[in-house]
C-alpha cells in the first residue's frame, strides 16, 4: 500500500497487538537464554521490557480463554480443553458469561482482527456463538481446532467460510501465512484510519514437527552438544541477562531422561530438536513481517505489542498405536492427519520416522522439552514452574516503559487490566443482557513504566494440579499428591520442598487457594473425570 493512501490512526489511541506462541518453553527465544535464532522477537525485548515471573495457565485452551477475557479459565467454560463435559463438567467452549478483549475494543471503536489458532470452541465445523467472528473479531483468518499439519492445514477458515485444501497452494506453510494475513490486517486498519486490536495466535512450535527445508538448513548442527551441555549454557546466559538471579539453581535433568552421552539415537533426537527450532525460527520470521507492517504504516511507536507463550514446553510423546492415537485426537478435537496424497500420516515418535516432512506427525519429546523449560522442572499441563512460566515481552515505544528486565510476579489475568488502562478502553460490564464478572487481575502498566508492583495472590488449577503464589512463597501439588511449598526467591526451580518445615504456612495458603477455587467455580477433578466418562464419545 502506498504511503499517500494510508491514514495514520489517531495517535491518542494506541493500537494493541497480542502475539501468542504455542507450546514454546521459557528459554527457547534468544532473549530468554536460547540458542535458537529469534532476532525479531529479541528486538521487541530491546525496545520494551521482559518479565521473568510471568505465568500462563499450563495449557493452550485455558490460557487462550484467560488471555482473551481477563478471567480465570474456569469462569469462561474452558478450564481444560474444548471437550464438552457438561453439565457436570466444563462445557469446553466460551460461555455467554464472559466478554473477549475484541468485544470490548470493538465497542470502543477499534478495528479487530485475529489470525491463527482459536481452540476455544468444541464446534469445529459449523460457526456458532463461540467462534471468533461471533466473539468480537471483525476479521478472522485461521484454524478453529487445536493442532494439525503446517502444510495441509485443515479447519482453516476465512471468516466463517472454510478454505479447502485445494486452494492452499504448493508453497503453503501455516506459520508464514499467519504472518502475512496479520500484516495485511494491520495495513487495512491503517488505511481506514482506525486504531486496531490484533490477536496473532501461532500454532508454532506445537507438534506436529513440520518445517521448510530452508529453515531446517539454519538449525542443523546447532544442538549437536546435546541437552545436558545446552541446558547449562542456557542457564548461564539467563543469569548473565538478569533472567535468573545469581543464586538461581538449575533443576537437575528430568529423572526420566537419560544423559546425552548415553542416548543411543542421537541422530534422530537431533533431528527432532532441529525441526522444533526451525518452527520457532519461522515464527520469528513471521513476527518480523508483522512488525514491518507496523513500521511501514507509521504505527510501531504507538502500538502496544505483547508476546508470550500459552504454556511451557510439551513433553507429550505421540504414539503410533491406533487406539492411543484415536483417543489423543478425540481429546484434542484434531481431524485425523493425512499426508498430501490423502493417505494417513506416519504418526509416532520412533527413529524410523524422520520428523519434519508433510507425511509425518511427530513431537520433540520430554528431553528437549526439559531443555526448553530451563531452568525449571515439569512441563505443559503441570502448574509447577516448567508448566506455567512464560517469556513475556511488552513493547510500546510511546508508552514510557522503563526497559530492561522486571521480576514482578504476574499472570494472564493481569493482561486485560493493563491493556484497558493503557488505552482507556472500558471493559464490558454486560453482554447480551448478562452482567459479567469483574476482572480479577491488576494492571501492570505502572510497573512496566518503572513503578511499584501491586502485590496480589496468583492462582492456578488445571486437571487437578493446583498452585497459589503469594509473594515469594508458592504452594503447589500434582493431582492426587500432597502439597509442596517452595521459596521462589531462592529456589525458583522448586528443588527444596519446605512443606514439612512450615505446616502453618501450608495450611494458610491451602485455605486461600480453596477460597479462590470456590469463588471462580473450580470443579473437583474427580467430578470432571466422572462426567467425562458418562459423556457419549465424539467421532474421532
pLDDT at 1: 33
User: How would residue 531 be classed by pLDDT, with cut points 50, 70 and 90?
Assistant: confident
Are 65 and 433 contacting, i.e. CB atoms less than 8 angstroms apart? Answer: no
Q: Give the C-alpha separation, 471 to 99, whole Å.
A: 30
pLDDT in tens, 255-293: 999 999 999 999 999 999 999 999 999 999 999 999 999
| Number of Cβ atoms within 10 Å of the Cβ of 128 | 12
pLDDT at 528 over 70: yes
98 is catalytic: no
Q: Cis link prior to 208 (omega < 30° from 0)?
A: yes
Per the prediction, the chain carries an average pLDDT of 92
pLDDT in tens, 7-46: 444 557 999 999 999 999 999 999 999 999 999 999 999 9
pLDDT at 492: 93
Q: Give the C-alpha separation, 185 to 110, whole Å.
A: 13
| pTM beyond 0.85 | yes
pLDDT at 529: 87
477 is catalytic: no
User: Exposure of 67 by Cβ count < 10 A (0-12 exposed, 13-18 middle, 19+ buried)?
Assistant: buried
pLDDT at 530: 86
Cα 479 off chain centre by? 22
> How big is the CA angle at 139 (ends 133 and 142), to the nearest 5 degrees?
80
Exactly one of 72, 113, 119, 410 is catalytic; which is it? 119
Q: Which residues contact 354 (CB under 8 A, 6 or more apart)?
A: 268, 271, 360
Average pLDDT over every residue of 131-151: 95
Exactly one of 31, 60, 244, 314 is catalytic; which is it? 60
| Number of Cβ atoms within 10 Å of the Cβ of 151 | 21
Q: Give the C-alpha separation, 93 to 101, whole Å.
A: 16
Amino acid at each position: 500500500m502506498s504511503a499517500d493512501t494510508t491514514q495514520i490512526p489517531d495517535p491518542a489511541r494506541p493500537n494493541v497487538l497480542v502475539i501468542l506462541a504455542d507450546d514454546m518453553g521459557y528459554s527457547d527465544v534468544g532473549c530468554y537464554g536460547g540458542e535458537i535464532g529469534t532476532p525479531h522477537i529479541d528486538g521487541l525485548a530491546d525496545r520494551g521490557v521482559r518479565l521473568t515471573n510471568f505465568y500462563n495457565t499450563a495449557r493452550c485452551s485455558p490460557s487462550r480463554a484467560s488471555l482473551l477475557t481477563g478471567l480465570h479459565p474456569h469462569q469462561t467454560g474452558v478450564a481444560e480443553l474444548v471437550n464438552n463435559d457438561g453439565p457436570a463438567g466444563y462445557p469446553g467452549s466460551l460461555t455467554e458469561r464472559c466478554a473477549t478483549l475484541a468485544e470490548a475494543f470493538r465497542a470502543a471503536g477499534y478495528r479487530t482482527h485475529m489470525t491463527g489458532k482459536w481452540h476455544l470452541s468444541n464446534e469445529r465445523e459449523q460457526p456458532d456463538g463461540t467462534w471468533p467472528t461471533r466473539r468480537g473479531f471483525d476479521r478472522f483468518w485461521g484454524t478453529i481446532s487445536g493442532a494439525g499439519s503446517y502444510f495441509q492445514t485443515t479447519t482453516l477458515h476465512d471468516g466463517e467460510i472454510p478454505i479447502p485444501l485445494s486452494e492452499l497452494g504448493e508453497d503453503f506453510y501455516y506459520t508464514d501465512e499467519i504472518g502475512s494475513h496479520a500484516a495485511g490486517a494491520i495495513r487495512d486498519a491503517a488505511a481506514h484510519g482506525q486504531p486496531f486490536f490484533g490477536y496473532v495466535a501461532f500454532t508454532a512450535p506445537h507438534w506436529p514437527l513440520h518445517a521448510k527445508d530452508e529453515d531446517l538448513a539454519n538449525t542443523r548442527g546447532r544442538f549437536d552438544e546435546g541437552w545436558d551441555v545446552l541446558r547449562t549454557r542456557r542457564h548461564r546466559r539467563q543469569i548473565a541477562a538478569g533472567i535468573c538471579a545469581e543464586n538461581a539453581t538449575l533443576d537437575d535433568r528430568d529423572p526420566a531422561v537419560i544423559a546425552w552421552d548415553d542416548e543411543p539415537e542421537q541422530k534422530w533426537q537431533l533431528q527432532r530438536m532441529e525441526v522444533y527450532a526451525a518452527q520457532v525460527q519461522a515464527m520469528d520470521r513471521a513476527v518480523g513481517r508483522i512488525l514491518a507492517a507496523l513500521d511501514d504504516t507509521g504505527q510501531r511507536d504507538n502500538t502496544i505489542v505483547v508476546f508470550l507463550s500459552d504454556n511451557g514446553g510439551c513433553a507429550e510423546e505421540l504414539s503410533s498405536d491406533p487406539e492411543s492415537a484415536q483417543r489423543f485426537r478425540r481429546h484434542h478435537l484434531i481431524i485425523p492427519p493425512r499426508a498430501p496424497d490423502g493417505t494417513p500420516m506416519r504418526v509416532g515418535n520412533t527413529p524410523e520416522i524422520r520428523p519434519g516432512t508433510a507425511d509425518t506427525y511427530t513431537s520433540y519429546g520430554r528431553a528437549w522439552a526439559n531443555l526448553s523449560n530451563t531452568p525449571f522442572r515439569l512441563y505443559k499441563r503441570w502448574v509447577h514452574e516448567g508448566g506455567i512460566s512464560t517469556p513475556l515481552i511488552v513493547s510500546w515505544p510511546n508508552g514510557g516503559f522503563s526497559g530492561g528486565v522486571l521480576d514482578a510476579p504476574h499472570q494472564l489475568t493481569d493482561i486485560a487490566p493493563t491493556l484497558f488502562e493503557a488505552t482507556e478502553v472500558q471493559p464490558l460490564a454486560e453482554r447480551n443482557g448478562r452482567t459479567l464478572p469483574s476482572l480479577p487481575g491488576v494492571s501492570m502498566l505502572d510497573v512496566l513504566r518503572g513503578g511499584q508492583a501491586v502485590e496480589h495472590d496468583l492462582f492456578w488449577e488445571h486437571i487437578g494440579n493446583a498452585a497459589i503464589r503469594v509473594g515469594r512463597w508458592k504452594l503447589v501439588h500434582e493431582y492426587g499428591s500432597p502439597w509442596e511449598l517452595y521459596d521462589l526467591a531462592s529456589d525458583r526451580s522448586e528443588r527444596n520442598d519446605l512443606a514439612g518445615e512450615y505446616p502453618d504456612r501450608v495450611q494458610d495458603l491451602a485455605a486461600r487457594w480453596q477460597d479462590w477455587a470456590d469463588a471462580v467455580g473450580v470443579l473437583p477433578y474427580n467430578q470432571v473425570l466422572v462426567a467425562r466418562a458418562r459423556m457419549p464419545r465424539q467421532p474421532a
